[in-house]
Structure 1
Amino acid sequence: MYSSSSSSSSSSSQGPIEVQRVSYSRFRRRIIRRSGSGGPAASTPLDTWRRPRFELDAVRQRLQLDSPPKPREPARRETANAPRSFFTAGRPATEDPPEQGWVWRTAVPEHGGAKPAGSDERRRALQPFALLDQTPVSQRGESVMKLAAPSLLNDYYTNLLDCSCNGMIALALGSSVCLWDSESRALAGSLDTSPQPGRGRHRTPAVSCLSWSGDGSALCVGTRRGEIQLWDVECKRNMSCLPSHLSVVRGLSWKQQLLSSGSALGRIHHLDPRAPAALVGAAVQEDGVCGLQWSPGGDRLASGSTEGRLRIWGGGISGVTRSRQPIITMTQPSAVKAMGWCPWQRQIIATGGGWTDGELRVWDTDSGTCVTSANTNSQICSLRWAEQKRRLVTGHGLPHHQVHCWSWEFPSLRPVGQLSGHSHRVLHLAVNPDGTQLFSAGADQQFHIWDACMLVLYPPKPQLPTALPNQ
């Protein structure tokens, strides 16, 4: 029970104070009535509707990485007479078509317009693929060119760099994808994912992975919101929005005209963009996918997991089923993110270990055994095979942030060179079609071009002994 004085303290001398007892229900009604009038109510026993938000901020920040907040429901648009995409033909008529927020913007020089004094160099330094440094002659273990890669995500589980069979480089910078011609060394265009005017920034998720098709005509892009976009680069248009995942898309790989995608929830989708119903097969693994790659012959699919499992799946993908099982499963102590099939030995695949492991392993997928391994004493963030040079290239994190080159002759794996130039971990690697250039992108937001001849000519620098021998 709650009480309040019915008379002021000045009347205390006139006798005992009369106390009015108020029931809780009446007190509650008064509080609600007063709160509705605009003024704050003091000493209310009721929970207010304005709860402090600081308790949930940390949780929301963590969830923002994998599951961005769902935008407010926009007003329903009239779509009865709107044309329907070929890839949305199987959807209900009442469902809105997917929003196409991706716009092709060709990179052209800017002319005219007054610019503040002293801002030209600062603006150029922030442009994608702007020249930061160039070496006229290849130096020992140094990159030929150093270019800017602003807004490159420092995320170990992303795959943001790929080179097509035509030598076109695709590099995802935040929510945009920039295309750079490695032959002409010029910016060819970009896929801009910026939201339409008046819409929140959270409607534009960052790109999490990308992959060129085998003929180099199509580029597939996956986002942190689970979206999968297919772009026709020759016609410069968005061809379709393929069936998406419910979590981050962490892996994309092509098998001729078939596209496979893997998500952070462990779902693997097999998509045929030519079919009315693009989803033609699926598989599920217990842990999240962080690497996905078809073998050169297309008869096997390798999926790496966040729990250190390397699974090899058969080439048959028809049917959506949860009972599908991998042919063989191999394990290592850390996540299997850096991985790659050997181009000239089809059953061989190499994987790199994370920070707690640092081991480079070569596996025989027929027997499921590790053929050989080498301890790098650093996080292996990326891995590529250079077929023409018969080399294996790995990108590393701490302590030196280098690119290491390895010679592989079954069953021997030995280091043959190291390239230095990044100041932070080397997250992504790519090799051009003729094997003459190696590309790397690091967490220092720099893009390096290396002369591939250095993969053969320059051995690693000798290490000084830790202690002098007794004389």
Structure 2
Amino acid sequence: MAQFNYLNELNSLATTMDGPITRGPPQRWVKKSNNENINPSLSASFKNTSNVNISSCNQSMQKLSISTNQSCNNSVHSNKTPTRNEPKKGKKTPSKNKSPGRSTTPTPNKATKTPNKADRFIPSRSNSNYDLCHYMMSREDDKGEEVVAQKVAGEAIGRALTDMEPGRLLQYTCKAPAAPEGYQNRLRVVYSQAKVPSSVKNTTRYIPQAPDRILDAPQILDDYYLNLLDWSSSNILAVALGNAVYLWNAGTGDIDELMTLEGSETVCSVQWVQGGGSHIAIGTSAATVELWDCEKKKRLRIMDGHTGRVGSLAWNMYVVSSGARDGGVVHHDVRQREHAVATLAAHTQEICGLKWSPDGRYLASGGNDNLLNIWPIAAGQRYSQPNYLYSFNQHLAAVKGLAWCPWANGVLASGGGTADRTIRIWNVNTGANLNTVDTKSQVCSILWSTHYKELISGHGYAQNQLVIWKYPLMSRVAELTGHMARVLHLALSPDGTTVLSASADETLRLWKCFMLDPKKKDPVESKAAKSLLNLNSLIR
């Protein structure tokens, strides 16, 4: 039963395939008849072609049609599919060589379900001369010269291709002419702006977000106007805790107590001498400056000159400058018996920031009166001029964060308090404000990196974080968080790789944020090393 169903499905499929084509594009002979009706001139030109060639072509096609029809009718009536081997019995497969001819559309016979005899013309395409037919159909009598010209051009192109080297279709016979001397392409400026400079591509580096070490700092004073931390070039850290000063050896981890004040007096500032010596200056709440020898743990002398507590200190070779709550700055020459060599009426309120430039030419002082003053050393004078060179009043709060750039001459960074919250970059050679950035937090301290063109700032209300800035764009490189209170003080290690932060949460945190790649050598480091070497030679 299944075999009869299979034969019925094959018969119905053959009947469907042998039937007329009702869908799809029109047949070729229908297209040709439509074109003849639309463009009679084309058919007329075709009839005017060579009768000899057309007659010979028609005779060959007629013979081919008769032979094809006979083979088609034999295959239909015998219900067999012609193959190279013996025919298979019992199966009916539609012929694959059937195609629409030029006769009318065939009508299937209902009795046998097969097409009528001689229903359409099926040419053999392999025996057709398509080149000759295409030439006859496309040629016109009035365009003979154009055909000849095209033929000549094709032959010329063929000869040119055969004369060329194998594998090369296009080649230049001569090089492009060179540009005249001094010529600059204007488009080069446009395309060069889209490229990223090589210095920017290689600035990404790994910056640890967690501190390398955390130290306890009990009884550290939570006072914005004091400077209680300093790291010497001999890798000794001095920290003022209450009324005492402690020394921490970063190499060995040893902790020693240097001195302790009596009574209710407190330590307000500490500052190591330049050049890697063992001497340190200590400012007290008793309006005095004490000079100590840390190796012998001995106080060498006490220097006065102020009427208020000494909250800031700065060394310039053998002279230590002190800023106090009375608003004055006193230069102390530690070599002389009369140590006060100059006194400056710098500010109307307490001085909380004091820094000498690396070359020793300028002194920057920041006060609670929101002023930033620049004091020069004039040639031929004893030490310092009584009048400032510049007095900047752009800050809206106390100016405590001060830092001179170690690799750019005359560049100073200053930071304002809670009401200001900005970091400003100054060029003291011209008095210009190079850049200003709003940090959104109180700026307590600033440090420049000696390895990268960056600076780091410590902040108070309300973020309590450390921020690394890219110079000169002043874009944020990284933010270091972890302190629970404002970051009051910052200190840089002698090798320039580690930053130590002191906070009001009574902790000291060491951040390895300026680590160098051992395979690379930064030019900033070599320049800073050269300047330090020159400074050491002057001290000696």
Aligned-partner residue type, residue 416 of structure 1: V
3-state DSSP class of the match of 1:338? strand
Q: Is the 8 A contact 2:208 2:511 kept in 1?
A: no
* Alpha-carbon offset, residue 389 of structure 1: 2.9
Give the Cα–Cα distance (whole angstroms) in 1 for the partners of residues 420 and 217 of structure 2: 28
Give the Cα–Cα distance (whole angstroms) in 2 for the partners of residues 401 and 357 of structure 1: 16
Give the Cα–Cα distance (whole angstroms) in 1 for the partners of residues 230 and 492 of structure 2: 8
Aligned residue number for residue 388 of structure 1: 451
Give CA-to-partner distance per residue, 1:195-224, whole Å, 9 cap, x none: 3xxxxx33xx11111100002321000012
Cα 1:406/1:252, change in 2 over 3 Å? same
Give CA-to-partner distance per residue, 1:369-422, whole Å, 9 cap, x none: 21111111000111111212332110011222111111113xx22110111110
Return 215-224 or 284-293, whichever deviates more: 284-293
- Aligned partner of 2:266 among 180, 195, 206: 206
3-state DSSP class of the match of 2:424? strand
Question: Mind listing any 5+ residue stretches in structure 2 that lack a counterpart?
Answer: 1-205, 518-540
Aligned-partner residue type, residue 371 of structure 2: R
Q: Is the 8 A contact 1:229 1:241 kept in 2?
A: yes
Give the Cα–Cα distance (whole angstroms) in 2 for the partners of residues 258 and 145 of structure 1: 34
Aligned residue number for residue 96 of structure 2: none
Q: Is the 8 A contact 1:431 1:437 kept in 2?
A: yes
- Aligned partner of 2:365 among 300, 303, 324: 303
Q: Is the 8 A contact 1:389 1:435 kept in 2?
A: no
Aligned residue number for residue 45 of structure 1: none
Give CA-to-partner distance per residue, 1:247-273, whole Å, 9 cap, x none: 011211111111111111111111111
Aligned residue number for residue 353 of structure 1: 416
Give CA-to-partner distance per residue, 1:213-240, whole Å, 9 cap, x none: 0023210000122111001112221111
Give the Cα–Cα distance (whole angstroms) in 2 for the partners of residues 274 and 436 of structure 1: 34
Give the Cα–Cα distance (whole angstroms) in 2 for the partners of residues 452 and 171 of structure 1: 21
- Aligned partner of 1:313 among 375, 381, 384: 375
Give the Cα–Cα distance (whole angstroms) in 2 for the partners of residues 175 and 303 of structure 1: 25
Q: Is the 8 A contact 2:377 2:383 kept in 1?
A: no
Aligned residue number for residue 334 of structure 1: 397
Aligned residue number for residue 324 of structure 1: 386
Aligned residue number for residue 257 of structure 2: 190
Aligned residue number for residue 179 of structure 1: 247
Residue 373 of structure 2 is aligned to residue 373 of structure 1:
no
Give the Cα–Cα distance (whole angstroms) in 2 for the partners of residues 175 and 386 of structure 1: 31
Give the Cα–Cα distance (whole angstroms) in 1 for the partners of residues 397 and 323 of structure 2: 18
**Between Structure 1 and Structure 2, how many residues are aligned?**
308
Give the Cα–Cα distance (whole angstroms) in 2 for the partners of residues 154 and 387 of structure 1: 29
- Aligned partner of 2:468 among 390, 405, 429: 405
Aligned residue number for residue 216 of structure 2: 148
What TM-score do the two structures reach when normalised by structure 2? 0.55
Q: Indicate the structure whose relative CO is greater, using CA pairs within 8 Å and at least 6 residues apart.
A: 1
Aligned-partner residue type, residue 340 of structure 1: A
Instruction: Flag the structure with larger Rg.
Output: 2
- Aligned partner of 1:421 among 482, 487, 490: 482
* Alpha-carbon offset, residue 173 of structure 1: 0.3
* Alpha-carbon offset, residue 428 of structure 1: 0.3
* Alpha-carbon offset, residue 166 of structure 1: 0.8
Cα 1:388/1:140, change in 2 over 3 Å? closer
3-state DSSP class of the match of 2:399? coil
Give the Cα–Cα distance (whole angstroms) in 2 for the partners of residues 327 and 397 of structure 1: 31
Q: Alignment RMSD, CA only?
A: 2.1
Aligned-partner residue type, residue 372 of structure 1: N
**Structure holding more helix per residue:** 2
* Alpha-carbon offset, residue 194 of structure 1: 4.2
Residue 281 of structure 2 is aligned to residue 220 of structure 1:
yes
* Alpha-carbon offset, residue 287 of structure 1: 1.6
Q: Is the 8 A contact 1:391 1:455 kept in 2?
A: no
Residue 225 of structure 2 is aligned to residue 157 of structure 1:
yes
* Alpha-carbon offset, residue 455 of structure 1: 9.8
- Aligned partner of 1:442 among 503, 508, 514: 503
Residue 332 of structure 2 is aligned to residue 271 of structure 1:
yes
Q: Is the 8 A contact 1:300 1:315 kept in 2?
A: yes
Aligned residue number for residue 64 of structure 2: none
**Structure holding more strand per residue:** 1
Q: Is the 8 A contact 2:451 2:516 kept in 1?
A: no
Q: Percent identity?
A: 34
* Alpha-carbon offset, residue 168 of structure 1: 0.6
Aligned-partner residue type, residue 330 of structure 2: H
